[in-house]
Amino acid sequence: MGIHMMTPLYEMALKYGPLEQFENYTLGANNMSSFFGIIWKAQTFTPQKAHLLTLLKLKLGRSGEPETVTISLRDTDSEGKPTGDDLTSVEIDGNALVEDAYCQWEDIELPSYLLKKDSLYAIVIRAESLSLLNVGYWRFHSQVSTYTRGKAGSSLDGGVTWSMDSGPPLDDNDYMFEEWGRRIL
């Protein structure tokens, strides 16, 4: 039996590059969509490079007090819809979001997750509140989107079933997002 030494943190950090932006859609935030209770929202994306996801930037807001908001990452099924358990997630205080339907960019730090190149993932957002008076908002582009590596989605049953970019209000729409992380060296 030998002594097992843990790798020092500075050595682990050398395996990844500096924080940088990877996939994103930030153009034309001309509408918002609300989420609360069993009404969940999603945005899929496909990384062009394998990397360690550490941060999401989402254009969010609120009306009333949506309480706890959960932002997570999920795999997708063969139809491009979110599926399975959260791969990584974080809870934030939804009441601390800007009270404005125009929303603002929020930095959401997540427990790190290694993303594979050319795999479709879903950013999923939901709020604890069950009231139409206490909702979270996510800004989106409500006309033809130019982001071709993912789609907006919505669930009306707490993530059991999903509609992806299929008919109003989601035709050719994408939610405002940036995903940040560290390149694998």
Sequence ranges of the domains in the chain: 33-136+152-158+174-185
Per-residue pLDDT at 30: 87
Per-residue pLDDT at 6: 43
What does the chain look like in DSSP terms, one character per residue?
Answer: --PPPPPPHHHHHTTEEEEEEEEEE-S---EEEEEBTTBEEEEEE--SS-EEEEEEEEEEEEES---EEEEEEEEE-TTS-EEEEEEEEEEEEGGGS-S-TT-EEEEEEEEEEEEPTT--EEEEEEES---TTSEEEEEEE-S-----S--EEEESSTTSS-EES-STT-TT-EE-EEEEEEEE-
Low-confidence ranges of the chain (pLDDT < 70): 1-14, 166-171
Per-residue pLDDT at 42: 97
- We find that the CATH architecture of domain 33-136+152-158+174-185 is Sandwich (2.60)
Per-residue pLDDT at 171: 59
Per-residue pLDDT at 149: 93
Per-residue pLDDT at 110: 95
Q: What is the pLDDT of residues 148-173, one digit of tens each?
A: 899 999 999 999 999 987 555 545 78
